[in-house]
Structure 1
Amino acid sequence: MAADHASLARQLTATAWRAGRLIMSYFGKASVEAKADRSPVTAADREADALIVQELQEIAPGIPVISEEGENHDIAPGTSPFFLVDPLDGTREFITGSGEFTVNIALIEDAHPRFGLIYAPALAKLYVTLGPRDPARLELSPHEPLPAWETLTFEKIATRPPPESGLTAVVSRSHMDERTARYLEEQGIRDTIPGGSSLKFCLLAEGKADIYPRFGRTMEWDIAAGHAILAAAGGVVIDETGKPLRYGKVERGLDNPGFVAWARPPR
Structure 2
Amino acid sequence: MPIRKEPSHFLESVVALAREAGRRILEIYGSDFRVAVKDDSSPLTAADLASHHCLVEGLTALRPAYPIISEESKTLPFEERRGWETFWLIDPLDGTKEFIKRNGEFTVNVALIHRHQPVLGVVYAPEKELCYFASEACGAFKQTGDLPPRSIEVTQSAHYPLRVVGSRSHQTEDLAVFLSRLGEYELMSIGSSLKLCRVAEGVADLYPRIGLTSEWDTAAAHCIVKEAGGEVTDLRGQPLRYNTKPSLLNPYFLVFGDKSRDWSRYADGIEG
Q: TM-score, normalised by structure 1?
A: 0.91
Question: Could you tell me how far 1:178 is from its partner in structure 2?
Answer: 1.1
Counterpart for residue 240 of structure 2: 245
The worse-fitting range, judged by mean Cα deviation, of 111-120 and 28-37 is 28-37
Summarize deviations over 1:67-110 as a string: whole Å, max 9, x none: 00001342424460111100000001101111000000001111
* 1:22 alignment partner in structure 2: 24
Look up the match of 1:38: 41
Contact kept in structure 1, 2:135 and 2:227, CA below 8 Å: no
Q: Give per-residue Cα distances to partners, 1:12-46, cap 9 Å, x unaligned.
A: 11101110000000014221100011100011101
| Per-residue deviation, residues 158-196 of structure 1 (Å, max 9, x unmatched) | 111223633111111110111111111112241111010
1:265 to 240, 254, 259: 259
Match in the other structure for 1:219: 214
Match of 2:29, SS state, is: coil
Q: Which of structure 1's runs of 4+ aligned residues deviate more than 6 A?
A: none
Q: Residues 243 and 131 of structure 1: is their aligned pair in 2 closer, same or farther, counting only changes over 3 Å?
A: closer
Whether contact under 8 Å (2:159, 2:205) holds in the other structure is no
1:2 aligns with 2:3: yes
Contiguous gaps of at least 5 residues in structure 2: 262-272
User: Number of matched residues?
Assistant: 256
Any gaps of 5 or more consecutive residues in structure 1? 142-151
The DSSP-based 3-state class of the residue aligned with 1:25 is helix
Q: Does 1:105 align with 2:100?
A: no
Distance 1:189 1:123 in 2: 31
**Matches of 1:166 and 1:78 in 2, distance apart?**
45
The answer to whether residue 175 in structure 2 is matched with residue 180 in structure 1 is yes
Letter of the 1:92 partner, please give it: K
Whether the 8 Å CA contact 1:234–1:264 is kept in 2: the answer is no
User: Tell me, what secondary structure is at the counterpart of 1:181?
Assistant: helix
Whole-Å separation in 2 of the counterparts to 1:30 and 1:177: 30
Range with greater deviation from structure 2 (82-91 or 178-187): 178-187
Alignment of 1:177-216 (within 5 A): 177-216=172-211
Distance 2:110 2:217 in 1: 10
Answer with 104-113 or 70-79: which moved more.
Answer: 70-79
Worse-superposed segment, 154-163 or 109-118 = 154-163
Percent of aligned pairs with the same residue? 39
What's the offset of the Cα at 1:248? Answer: 0.5
CA deviations on 1:114-138 (whole Å, 9 max, x unpaired) are 1100000000100001552411011
In 2: Cα distance, 1:133 partner to 1:266 partner: 24
Structure 1 residues 57 and 215: alpha-carbon distance in aligned structure 2, compared to 1, 3 A threshold: same
1:7 Cα offset (Å): 2.0
RMSD over aligned Cα atoms: 1.7
Q: What secondary structure does 1:260 align onto?
A: strand
- The TM-score, its normalising length taken from structure 2, stands at 0.89
